[in-house]
Structure 1
Amino acid sequence: MAKRKEKPRNQVATNRKAQHDYTITETYEAGVALTGTEIKSVRAGKINLKDGFAQFHRGELWLENVHISPYDAGNRFNHDPLRNRKLLLHKRELAKISGVIKTAGMTIVPLKVYLKHGYAKVLLGVAQGKHEYDKRETIKRREQDRELRRVLKNNF
């Protein structure tokens, strides 16, 4: 039976679909403005990045369509699971990202969420969408690498 790779202790969620659907050109680390019950849910690992993306509104970057489940022990003041969350970046980084995004076909996708010094951070990827034939090429290359590792493992 194959061993499962354990995720690092501070890593909360990853977006594996983004690696399949996009070619990631650059990455940025951003903080996320969360409410009290949201950070408790994130620490519990109840976050889904699958269809998430980031978009500019009035010069600020917002994380959209990321689902953070309501906190189980919360009360009537629990948060909306799909609300838009502000991303915290320096002005230089925001200007650089907005310049790159203005080119055709580029988007910003969340790649992973992790905890750093008690704060939730998001690794954002500036990405370009893949065509169907690019996705097939990626799968083919991955299977070839897996087969090569298997052969090398058996020989040594």
Structure 2
Amino acid sequence: MAKTRPAPRDGAQRKQDVLARLAEDDDLWVSTAGPDGEACLVPLSFVWYGTYLLVATRTANPTTVNARRTGRVALALGHTRDVVLIEADADILPSDGLDAAEGEQFVAKLGWDPRGRPSWSFLRFRPRTIRAWREEDELQGRHLMADGAWLV
């Protein structure tokens, strides 16, 4: 029996779905490149602040080291039948580098507090591109953001 697929979404609906996923999901995949070109892919918990994502990890971890070196990351949310791919610029903040509102929102959503831990850093990811699709019938129009600006 053939599986029924949902109808393809238009760009506006995909943007709405991406924003919902950014607000509601807890985890994403973060990919960085080491100095030798070797990929580093790790899952991290995140908070969406409307224009950027925020994660925390140890300062010495390859994710932080690579993001500091290149200033760039690739992010993925969802599964292979409903994927969101984000290319983002990365800023590294010390563990005491958040304002009070950012810190409280991070703790409220994720239930833990890395603030003030010297061996930890916050990484702020500002999306440059966002692509989203479910199936082949949504490949056309999958680019929802370019150069940091929404296309839809």
TM-score bracket relative to the smaller structure: under 0.3
Name which one, 1 or 2, has greater alpha-carbon Rg: 1
* TM-score normalized by the length of structure 1: 0.23
The structure carrying a bigger strand percent of its residues is: 2
The structure carrying a bigger helix percent of its residues is: 1
Larger relative contact order (Cα-Cα within 8 Å, sequence gap ≥ 6):
1
* TM-score normalized by the length of structure 2: 0.23
